[in-house]
Structure formats: C-alpha cells, structure tokens
Chain A
Amino acid sequence: MPDQDERHDSPESEGSDGEAGSDQKPSKGFSRRQFIKGTGLAVSASVFATEGLLKAAAPDQAGAGVEGPGAVKVQLRINGQLRQLQVEPRVTLLDALRNRLDMTGAKKVCDRASCGACTVILDGRPVYSCTVLAIDAQGKSIETIEGLAPKGTLHPVSQAFVDNDAQQCGFCTPGFVMAVKAYLDKHPHPTADEVKASLNGNLCRCGTYMGVRQAVLEAATKMTRKGGRA
C-alpha cells in the first residue's frame, strides 16, 4: 500500500498529471486514478479533476522568472546525460524528447494527461511528459525508456511484457513499462490486487491488461529474486 514517504510538494507530484503508475493518495487535488475509477459517474467529479489538472500545471511560483515567448536555452538531464536544447517555454517535455532529441519511446496519444503513453520518470516519480514543460524538467533527473537497459538487452519489466504478451500494437507499451518500472521501484512486492489498483493511469486500446497484470507480478519476482508476496 502507499508509502507515505513518497509525497513531494513539487507541482509534478500534486496528483492529476503525475500519477501514472503510482497508487499513492495525492496530497492535494484529485488523482487521475480516482477519476478513472469513477468512470461514468464523473459528471461532478470532472470539475475537481480539471481543477487538479490546472493546479498541477501551474508554474512553480518560487523561483519562476519570465521566460519566452521565444526559444530559450534548456538543459535536461536525461538518462544521466546532460542535453542542451533551444525550445520555446511552451514546449512540453514530451515534444522536446520526441521532436528535438529524437527520443520517441514516449508516445503522444491523448496529449492531455489522460492515457499515460508518454510516461517518463522524473526524480523517481512517473509523470505524463505531455503535461510537464521542458523548462520545468530542468534540474531534475529524467528517465526515459531509452535509458532503461543497455543497448541490446531488455530490462526485466520489458522482458516480462514480452513473456506475458502484455502488448499488442505496442503503442501504449513504453509508457506502461515506465509506469511499471517506477511502481516496482517503490513497491517491489505487490499483490495482484495492488497491481490492478495501481496502474490505472495507463490506457491500452488493444486490451492487453491481462498480460500486463501477469507481467508486473513476474517482473517483481525476478527483480527481487525473493518472490512476490503470497
């Protein structure tokens, strides 16, 4: 269950846009997971969800200067490497990765923090990179699927997705893999029910959830070499 020590106060951790793969209760706002669980009864809930999104997307008041609207120099630490680029302040982390750095593992699907296909790990937490500005990701550790395993090898999560056929068209898969990786880093021994309850921030259209559930449990077992919780 949720580890209380995971809570952060940075905007990315407030909930709506940062909850891919985390089962923790947000400290403020409304979590996307709760929102999705309310599928169909979310007429009033949607108002709160939107508020949460706006809050989460608001700039960090402390230390934010006026930037842009023209391109500004941005320095990102991606998979341990410093990358310099010149982008307008409105450019999202996702577009910076895909369009400027040709790192296309994170996918653009909903482009508004609904589906999780763009999930990357920011300072250890899964975030929707379509809803994080590149300039706001400066000074943070950014992990993308390109850095998950040395070239030519598969991370245990990726391997478990192969072995359990947790992918069909595969377009949601890199985001799912990153969400699972971030989740298992914090919850190395999940139960099947915890897995189901904790990965609602990633949507799949082909319907691979049966395989994903198995893959998460199997990856957990292999990564800890102790076996999952009974």
Chain B
Amino acid sequence: MADLQWPPAANRHLIGKSISRIDGPWKSSGTAKYSYDMNPPGLLYAKMVTSPYAHAKITAIDTSAAEHAPGVHAVHLFTAVGKEVTCEGQEVAAVAADTEEQAEDAARLVRVEYDELPYLVADTDPTHAGAGNFRQNSEETQGNPTQGFQQAEVVSEGEYGLPVITHCCMESHGSVAQWDGDKLNVWLSTQNVSGQGGEYAQGLSNAGINFSASNLHVDCQVMGGGFGSKFSADTWGVAAAVLAKKAGRPVKLMLDRNVELLVAGCRPSMHGKIRVGAKRDGTLVAWESQSWGTGGVRGFGVPPIPYIFDIPNYSRTHANVLTNIGAARAWRAPNHPQMCYLTMTALEDLAAKLGMDPLDFFLKNIALTGERADYYKQELQQAAEMIGWKQKWHPRGDKTPGSIKRGLGLSIHTWGGAGHQGFCRTTIHPDGSVEVATGSQDLGTGTRTVIGIVAAETLGLPLEGVQVEIGDTKYPPDGASGGSSTVGGVTSSTRVAATDALNQLLAKVAPSLGTTPDKLEAAQGQIRVIGDPSKAISWKQACAKMGATPIVAQGQGGSRGPGRALISAGVGGAQMAEVSVDVDTGVVRMEKMVAVQDCGLVIDSKTAESQVFGACIMGTCYALHEEKIMDQQTGTCLNPNMEFYKLGGIDDIGDIVVHFMTDPMYENRGVIGLGEPPVVSPGAAISNAVANAIGVRVPELPMTPDRVLAALGKGGQA
C-alpha cells in the first residue's frame, strides 16, 4: 500500500526539483484568458459612478438621462438617497451599455448631489484625529517596564512609520456575469473560487433577485494578482450580476484603475513612538511604544510590537485612527511588515547607540525569539555569510569619500502558513490518464504546478502524466488563498486523494502480479513489487485492469484531514540588504538582497524561489516608492494612477539571492506556506541598510529622496 507520508529525499523524483510552471506557456503566449478577457456574445460593458468626496450624504440621485443614453441597457444603484459615502471612489451607481465608450458617457450623465460632511484622510499625526476618529484599541504591559528602563544602561528613542499602500493588482477587480435561466455564471477575478456562493445569494437577494447559491458557477482559470484584496466578489461583483439580469445580456464590470487604487486596496499604515533599552552588553530589557495607524473608516486590528523579540518588560498602546479612505484589505502578510518595520528599525537604532554590530546584537538576544531561536540563528548566520556581512559591515555612516554611501541592514520575520481545509478529487481512467481537480485558484504562485507535482510523484508518473484542473466551482471546494495557506492545503488534499486512488488501483492489480497490494509501489511509470523491480507492469497495463469504471478518490486537506501530518505551520526568515545612497540627491538603490527562508518541505524550488524574488521586489517597492498620498485639504487621493502610485521597474531592483533552509530538521515538518513571509522584512532591512550607509535614520517609508535629504538635514521634508 502506498504511504501517505512524504517520500524520503532519495525517493523524490519531482518534489523539491526545479520545475517550470505548467501553465507558463499559456500565459507567456498571451492565450490565457483572465476574467477581464472574457467576451461572451452579446456582452455589455459596465462603468461605475463613484463618490468624489471623502465623506458626504447623498441628497439626490437622478439616473434618467443615463437610462436613455445611447446603448444603455441597465442601471444599478449601490446606495440610496439619504445614505452616506465614507471615502472618495465609493461606488454609487453603475451603467451597462453596448460599448465601453457608451457606458462611460452614460455614467457621466448620472446626477448625484451630496452634502459634504467633515472628513479625515491624514493619519500621520493622531492629535489631528480628534476624539471621534481616535480609537485607543489596546494597552498592554509585561513585566515591569519602569524597572526595566531603570536597569537599561542605554536607551534609544525614535519615531517610525509606514504609510497606507495599495494592492495595485495588474488585473483590476471585477467580473463578467452571465445568466442562463436561474443559473449564474461568473468569470470572477478571485482568490476564493469556492467561497462565493453566500455573498452572491445575499447580494442578489438584497437587489430583489431570488437566487440560490447552488446555481452559482464561478470560473477563474487565471487571475491577475490579488495579494489579499480579492477574497470577496464585492458590491461590484454582485452589481455585474444584477445588471446582467436586468439587461438579459452578459455584463463585464472591471474597476477602472483609479477606483481600484481608491477603494479596492489598502494596507493599513502604522506609526509609532518607541523607546527601547538594553544593558551595556546588548541584553534587551525594556520596550515602550505608542503606535497608531489607519485602515480606513472601520479601522483594522491591533498589531502587537515588539515583533518576534519577546522583550521581558514592555508597555505598549495601539490606536486606530479612523479615516475616510478605502477600507483595509489583507495585504500580503497582514500587519507583519508594519510590526517588523517598527521593531527592527528601533532595535537597529539601539544597536547603533550601543556601538554594536546589529548582527551581534540580534544574536545576543536571539533567545527572546522563543521556540524558533535556533532557526533564526542559523538563518542569520547563513544570510551573513552569503552577503559578506563581516567583511562589508561598518559602523554607521559610510566614510568613503564621494556622494555614494553604501550600507548593510538586516531583519528577521515570521509567519504561520498552515494549509487550509479543502478537497481534491483524483480520477484514474482505464486508459491510464489521470485528472486531479480542486476548486482552488492560482494567484501566480504556481498552485497548478504544485498539485501536479504531488499527484505525479504519488502515482509514480511524469508531471505530464496528470492533468490538473482548478479554478472552477464544478470541482471539489478548496479554501481561499490567504495566509499562505494554499500550498499546504492543496498538497495535502492532493496527496490524500492520489494515495487513496493509487491504493484502489494496487488492489486491482495485485492478483495479476501474484502478490498483495501492500507489497506494491508506483514508480517510474510502473506498478512494481517493492524490492523486486523485475516484477512490474506498466502504468497503462495496470490501469487497463480496472474495468470500465474509473477509479475516483476524494481527499481532504488541511489540519483536520487525514494528511494533517503532511503539513505544518510557523516559519522564520532572515534578510539582509545592501544599499547605495547618493547623499547629494537622496536617491536610494537596493543593490543586493539576500533572503534566507524556511518553509518546511519545498515542492517546486523554481516557483518557490520566484515567490521570494517577488516578495523582495514588492518589499523594495514599499521601502522606496509606494505611498497612497492623501490630501487633507481636499479629502482626495493625489495619486490614484500608475504614474504617481509608483512601482519599481526592472532597473530599480538590484541583485537578489534566495536560500531555502532544507536540512531534515526543516523538511521533516512537511509543507508550509511561503507566499507571505519573505515580504515582511524588506522594509526594515532596507531602512537599516540606509541608516548604516548615511549615518542617520530615515524614519518614514517610503525612503524617497526628499525624506532622505530631510534626514540628512539637507532640506525640508515634503
């Protein structure tokens, strides 16, 4: 019988190897069809009318002109007279017309009148917030902070912050909706293919359309990025279905870029005043922080700092500043980049004040990181070796003549990454073909590929011997792709299903090989007797013995399924950055990053490495470029477009070297999610490298030239 547990390293033919993603040709040839690309016959295009105000009461809506505009087939209202809008870009109405241009024209004919109300969009100074917008969410202490600071021989104080940034998915949010009688087909750009039924049923019911979730068909074969912002179908997803019902035609409603940046993506800001103290030998003893941030009008959670280092004495408060901006959405590793940035920068400042190499300082206090202290130690040492820390690191302030200063910085991070619950169906057909199906989704992480690798490895087949089907509600449901839960979820469900299917096959084949199923294995395209490869039949011959009915097995994944031992949770990583800073212009360049990461058993080293590359690049972008700039005078966002909401280009990124910790002590933990953890550290590591290069802290991200020059005392901060 085939075993559930992962094969030992020596017996792995596919797992852990460098394998190109199986849907790669489809994407790079331009033939992959995203939701945005769906053009069913009779398609109408919808455009939204959104609020120009940060906060206002709607006093009148008149859609009559729009309804009679050329080409218009349906109008939908998201709200009603008397209701409030609470941020710029909030959806008010949508119009569906024959062409995109007609829909744009008609949307402009919708008359909405507002009474403006007081608003707050700036969050950098909580004293501006006033009582109504300032929510003290937590106040915690551990040990005795007062005594702790008395014991401290060196105390560092500083203010640190990161602004709100957005998701800026390349494919904006939205869908194409098409009714077929009572059945609703949606091509939805989503991270949660299997989890949309309830939202559509509720939303359509609110719009007066009787609908049962069992009649929903979601199709999302590929999606153009989500990063945590595409779990929900959102009001505009439901609106496409409502418009399609009203018009009796399919409707495409994709957010325009400005609306996407205004309302469909927000990583909460975090700012803090921090004091941290240590003994002269570097032993951390006390922490005090007052932090705040904004995640829009409903706030967001409480990110606890210090991050990772459990300093024995601390007091911390955190407040949510409620602002009239698009609401917070999970952004790759929610809260971790913020907590990491505030903590690791404050600690590095303390190390500088102590006159210690921050690597020595981190290692000195590594026991405070708790149960994974050994992992962090190994990872820091690995990263230090790879970047040449001991050779290149210098005390703060590069003394090299000239305007270009170089520096090194470090950070560590953690994440959970437990596999989600989900189901996979493996079907073995009498002709030997194999289908593996699950209602999961590929955000670009390589979901299809890891499913294929696990199924093929389990069945002893080459990768092309299995056909992977995902992205459709006609397959067994899988969990949402959030929290780096997908790889653990789908690999465990796939392993369980494929093992079960294989065991059914072995039972059918055993008599013809004159043995019992427990003596058989599937390897190298054969079913053979364990330890006696001469007694073997080909996979095709074996499958021919099953009769006319295919073998079907469904497997449950996640921590409640039979494959719970295949997966685990809790990872660490260390990153080191090397930067150059031009102290005349204030321009920072990330020259090199080293990313050392553990994530248990790596399934595909090629796509895993890409995840870490991508995270370091995304991290460099928020460290140096990205900020949603809000103007308190007008209540509007100043950069809801891609020329001023800046992402780095190919030349803005230095070299990146990735190393996975794959010793048995890591691998034996099983599969753990990887998508999020490596995006946590770059902000802190790059900021620390800049401080090391120029001798002073640039307290706020992104480290734009004006902020760098201000930190150097060379000009006012914009």
Contacts and interface: CB of A to CB of B under 8 A. Distances in A.
Contact of A99 (B32, B99, B446, B643): B99
Contact of B587 (A40, A163, A196, A204): A40
B170 A172 contact: yes
A170 interface: yes
A207 B613 contact: yes
Interface in B192-242: 222-225, 227
A211 B610 contact: yes
B143 interface: no
Interface residues of B, number: 70
A22 interface: no
Given A165-B606, A169-B224, A205-B168, A154 B25 contact: yes
Interface stretch (A2-10, A54-62, A111-119, A222-230): A111-119
B301 to A, nearest CB: 24
Contact of B650 (A107, A115, A212): A212
A168 B25 contact: no
Interface string A85-99: 000101100010011
A162 interface: yes
B646 A40 contact: yes
A35 B650 CA distance: 13
Interface in B2-42: 20-21, 23-25, 27-34, 36-37, 39
A202 B648 CA distance: 10
B28 A169 contact: no
Given A112-B643, A115-B642, A206 B614 contact: yes
A39 B646 contact: yes
A41 B257 contact: no
Interface stretch (B483-491, B502-510, B651-659): B651-659
B649 interface: yes
A205 B225 contact: yes
B182 interface: no
A171 B26 CA distance: 11
Interface string A198-211: 01111111111111
A197 to B, nearest CB: 6
B650 A104 contact: no
Contacts of B21: 162, 165, 167
B568 interface: no
A210 to B, nearest CB: 4
Contacts of A170: 23, 27-28, 32, 222, 224, 444
B683 interface: no
Nearest to A162: B24
Contacts of A102: 39
A105 B37 CA distance: 8
Interface string A127-155: 00000000000000000111011000011
Nearest to A113: B643
Closest 3 CB pairs of A and B: A105-B30, A171-B224, A207-B617
Given A46-B644, A148-B29, A173-B27, 10 more contacts: A37-B649, A41-B586, A46-B643, A88-B101, A162-B25, A165-B24, A171-B170, A200-B651, A200-B652, A205-B647
Interface of A: 33, 35-37, 39-41, 43, 46, 49, 88, 90-91, 95, 98-99, 102, 104-115, 117, 144-146, 148-149, 154-155, 157-159, 161-163, 165-174, 177, 195-197, 199-213
